[in-house]
Amino acid sequence: EVQLVESGGGLVQPGRSMKLSCAASGFTFSNYGMAWVRQAPTKGLEWVATISYDGSSTYYRDSVKGRFTISRDNAKSTLYLQMNSLRSEDTATYYCTRGRLGYYSSYFDYWGQGVMVTVSS
């Protein structure tokens, strides 16, 4: 059974940093691109970043470029999102997702339960 379990969320002040993790199991992690998708409270879904199966390629939405870094450790089957210079508009539930295609754009066939990040003073 595919499982994606996020951790690391919480309350953080504007301008500070936070790192999210996603532990994957039930599939060969190193064979799949992975992505983070977020959802602000009562809002829709917004793609944040994608990383290729081997970590050699990364893609970001414009609003997080230069502030967020997506990475992975295939030996640990874990996906990360390092978030720096956080803003109030980054407040959202962050979902770890598996990309079904090996391209820079994909649909997402499995989602974690989500982790809440609240940016507030």
Partner 1 sequence: DIVMTQSPSSLAVSAGETVTINCKSSQSLLYSGNQKNYLAWYQQKPGQSPKLLIYWASTRQSGVPDRFIGSGSGTDFTLTISSVQAEDLAIYYCQQYYDTPPTFGAGTKLELK
d(CA 63, CA 52): 20
Which span sits near partner 1 by CB under 8 A: 9-17, 19-27, 43-51, 79-87?
43-51
Judged by beta carbon, residue 19 or residue 61, the one nearer partner 1 is 61
In the set 12, 36, 106, 117, which binds partner 1 (CB under 8 A)? 106
Strands 3-7 and 92-99, by their bridges, are: unpaired
The number of residues in the chain equals 121
In the set 55, 59, 69, 74, which binds partner 1 (CB under 8 A)? 59
Judged by beta carbon, residue 4 or residue 18, the one nearer partner 1 is 4
* By the rule CB under 8 A, 66 interacts with partner 1: no
d(CA 78, CA 97): 12
**Tokens standing for residue 95:** 């979902």
Judged by beta carbon, residue 83 or residue 115, the one nearer partner 1 is 115
Taking a C-beta distance cutoff of 8 angstroms, is the pair 99, 106 a contact? yes
Quick count: other Cβ atoms within 10 Å of Cβ 26? 11
Judged by beta carbon, residue 80 or residue 110, the one nearer partner 1 is 110
Where do contacts with partner 1 occur on this chain (CB under 8 A)?
37, 44-47, 50, 59, 61, 95, 100-101, 103-114
